Amino acid sequence: VTTAAAAVAMAVAVLVLMIAVTAVAVRGMRGPCPNAGTAAAPFECQWEDTAAAFVDTSAMSLATITSAKDDTAHTLLFPVDGTFQFPWLNGYVANHVRLCTNGYLQILQTPHDDNKRQCGGYSAGRSAPDDQASVLAPLQFDWNPDIENSTAVVQHGFADSGGARRWIVQWLRVAAYGTNKNRHVDIQIELFDNGDVHYHVRRATNAQYGSQSNVRIGISNRDLSYKHNIYFGKPNNVALPAADYSVYYTRVANTVAPATTAAVAGGTAAAAAATTTVAATTTTM
| pLDDT the model gives residue 194 | 92
In the chain, which ranges are E strands? 31-32, 43-48, 63-64, 72-77, 86-87, 93-94, 96-100, 104-108, 133-140, 143-144, 153-161, 164-176, 185-192, 197-202, 215-220, 227-233, 245-251, 280-284
Per-residue pLDDT tens over the stretch 261-279? 555 543 333 333 333 333 4
Close Cβ partners of 37 (under 8 Å, ≥ 6 residues apart): 43, 45, 219, 226, 227, 228
In the prediction, which pLDDT does 236 show? 83
DSSP code per residue over 223-255: TSSSEEEEEEE-TTTS--S-SSEEEEEEESS--
Per-residue pLDDT band for 40 (boundaries 50, 70, 90) equals low
Q: Is the confidence at residue 201, as pLDDT, over 90?
A: yes
pLDDT of residue 68: 93
| pLDDT at residue 197 is higher than 90 | yes
Degrees, nearest 5: CA angle 272-274-278 = 165
Q: What is the mean pLDDT of the chain?
A: 77
pTM over 0.85: no
How confident is the model over 131-187, as pLDDT tens digits?
Answer: 568 899 999 999 999 999 999 999 999 987 667 789 999 999 999 999 999 999 999
